[in-house]
Structure 1
Amino acid sequence: MIRNIPELICIRDIIRYAVTQFNKNQIFFGHGNDNSFDEAVNLILQTLKLEPDLLEIFLDARLLEKEISLILDYIEKRVKDRIPIAYLTKESWLNGYKFFVDERVIIPRSYLAEILLDKDIIDNNIEDILDLCTGSGCLAILAAIKFKNANIDAIDISEDALEVANKNINLYRLNQQIKTYKSNLYSSLEKNKKYDLIICNPPYVNMESMNILPKEYSYEPKIALYGGINGMDLIEKIIKQSKHYLKDNGIILLEIGNEFNNFMKMFKYLKPHWFHEDHLYKKILMLKYDQL
């Protein structure tokens, strides 16, 4: 553990120190940030339990010795062991919403969050939503916030993940709106249950990519990342069975990450809607019931 450094007095000082350490050690950014400054700010504010928009107010706030010691410890673990910030602070932010996380779930970073909250392509008169592979429950919670009158089933094969999801659902007091179930995709659902909207950020990383992932990803559950040799193992099952669980006017929103080419090879017959914003293009698709 790094001992306290006398010259580090306020938040501004320790942000500068963290940025230098991150740059010098060339850490990998991939869990919500894409640069050393944002990584440093997030680590420090989350450690201090301060919300992201409070940075300017507290930049010159002096820190307690025990706060500096904890932050320096986290900086060292981030640099030396490559542990993602969220697993150090047990906190992650997605589109302005805070979630509890630990190593039982992947760190929330789905592009579907933006679609759910900001896009008007989905009819607001949605009554039933299914969140497949819910993980931390973040997408189910965002869906509940957007579609206040909808009932949401959030499922995952991992009991550990569901414990985290339930913790987050409790934190947002959405227990009446969101119900969690252990299920291998659709296997434990009621056979006659139909949904207006299915959302899913499934495991889709292909074998070749898994073998070269930066160390940061090794802390996440492999079951939540690995999608088979071509990344399509679960995606194939999700799409082929989805029509049985969609209402006649229902839609499915699916994240496929960087697997566009593998997706198109497997599903040549499908004509999904692709979102054309640069950061979303070929990563998120939408299919309507009559397209399946």
Structure 2
Amino acid sequence: MDKYQQAAASLNTITDYIRFAASEFERTGLYYGHGTDNAWDESVALVLQMLELPSDYPVVMFEARLIDEEKQHLLSAIRTRIEERKPLAYITNKGYFAGIEFFVDERVLVPRSPIAELVENQFNPWLISDEPRILDLCCGSGCIGIACAAYLPDSEVIVSDISVEALQVAEINIDQAGFYPRVQAVQSDLFSSMRDMKFDLIVSNPPYVDAEDLAEMPAEFFHEPEIGLGSGDDGLDLTRKILQQAAEFLTEHGVLIVEVGNSWPALQEAYPEVPFSWLEFERGGDGVFLLTKQQLEQHFS
């Protein structure tokens, strides 16, 4: 009888399973970076999500006893998290962005961008149109674009990605949100399918991990599609193309917002003359820049 079978025989309540999972996660040295940052929060999230319970489930109810089927369900998830180093979002098929739940699987990255804070603030003060047209470029699960539609109810949004598999997930999320046709998915290699479209906001969380960081990532990240992570030796191959092309697809007062994460020093070094506005976040995060259409035309035309 292994430890998981022994656990099923001795653990009975929600609290028991949270405590057991947290201890095992700590003991086995998991990496946290897909929604939580410590073993306890990860274990709470796993148990509640696997039981289809809300994140604000009353603590007083944590003493509820579980039936055998629920116990086996939880132990299987705990085992998978530890032995396969699979991110929690891929076990539960639930990702969260700007307070909204999204379907995710291994066709897309797990949502975790600080851009969520900009969405929640409706991109104030940079987005001035009352009925903005928005492009979520390199959209993956579509979480940024769909969240834009939720927080800006008069907007029209295109979510775009080169990956057909990623767009399949994005379309699931568009349907789940009930936003079609106000949000539409378009398969495109960056702007190649945009034709004569103009946008008030282009927002992108493209691949930006440099080759060195990609090789040294914890095991959890290797469950994510590499096409969504790496972008050349310095992590900026796609960002350079976006900078060269974006102005053509912005309205007169349009803005470009792009996350480049830890590659921001390399970007600043590559373009020292460009007046990047590096955005700040109350909840933490960095490496997100903003440029206007005029700035793009001046430096990249």
Specify if TM > 0.5. Answer: yes
Work out the CA distance in 1 between the residues paired with 2:98 and 2:42: 16
**Is the Cα–Cα contact under 8 Å of residues 274 and 281 in structure 1 kept in the other structure?**
no
Deviation at 1:123, TM superposition (A): 2.6
Partner in structure 2 of residue 148 of structure 1:
153
Counterpart of 2:237 (choices 224, 233, 242) is 233
The equivalences for 1:98-137 within 5 A come to 98-118=101-121, 120-121=124-125, 122-123=127-128, 125-137=130-142
**Alignment deviations for residues 252-285 of structure 1 (CA, whole Å, 9 cap, x no partner):** 1111111111111222121122123476564111
CA deviation map 1:66-106 (0-9, x unaligned): 11111111111111110111111111122321111111001
Using the alignment, how far apart are the partners of 1:281 and 1:74 within structure 2? 29
Q: How does 1:206-225 map to 2 (within 5 A)?
A: 206-225=210-229
Equivalence map 1:28-67=2 (5 Å): 28-67=31-70
The answer to whether 1:270 aligns with 2:274 is yes
The answer to whether the 8 Å contact 1:255/1:285 transfers is: yes
> Quick check: 123-132 or 255-264, which moved more?
123-132
Structure 1 runs of 4+ with >3 Å offset: 277-282
Query: How far, CA to CA, are the matches of 1:276 and 1:209 in structure 2?
Result: 23
What percentage of residue pairs aligned between the two structures are identical? 35
Secondary structure in structure 2 of the residue aligned to 1:254: strand
Gaps of 5+ in 2: 297-301
- The normalised TM-score by structure 2 is 0.93
Matches of 2:170 and 2:152, distance apart in 1: 18
In the TM superposition, what is the alpha-carbon distance from 1:60 to its structure 2 partner? 1.5
- Report the Cα offset of residue 55 of structure 1: 4.7
Structure 2: distance between partners of 1:276 and 1:154: 25
Size of the aligned set, in residue pairs, is: 291
Aligned partners of 1:137 and 1:168 also within 8 Å: yes
In structure 2, how many angstroms separate the alpha carbons of the residues matched to 1:281 and 1:13?
34
Mean Cα deviation higher: 244-253 or 123-132: 123-132
Whether the 8 Å contact between 2:98 and 2:147 is mirrored in structure 1 is no
In 2, Cα distance between equivalents of 1:120 and 1:196: 13
Q: State the Cα RMSD in Å.
A: 1.5
Superposition TM-score, scaled by structure 1 size: 0.96
CA contact (8 A) 2:131 2:155 kept: yes
Structure 1 unaligned blocks of 5 or more: none
Residue in structure 2 matched with residue 90 of structure 1 by the alignment: 93
- Once the two structures are superposed, the pairs formed by residues 156-235 of structure 1 within 5 Å of their partners are 156-190=161-195, 192-235=196-239
The Cα of 1:5 is off from its aligned counterpart by 2.4
What amino acid sits opposite 1:259 in the alignment?
Answer: S
Contact 2:137 2:206 survives alignment (8 Å): yes
* Distance across 2 between alignment mates of 1:152 and 1:267: 30
Q: Secondary structure at the match of 1:166?
A: helix
Does structure 1 conserve the Cα–Cα contact (< 8 Å) formed by 2:114 and 2:285?
no
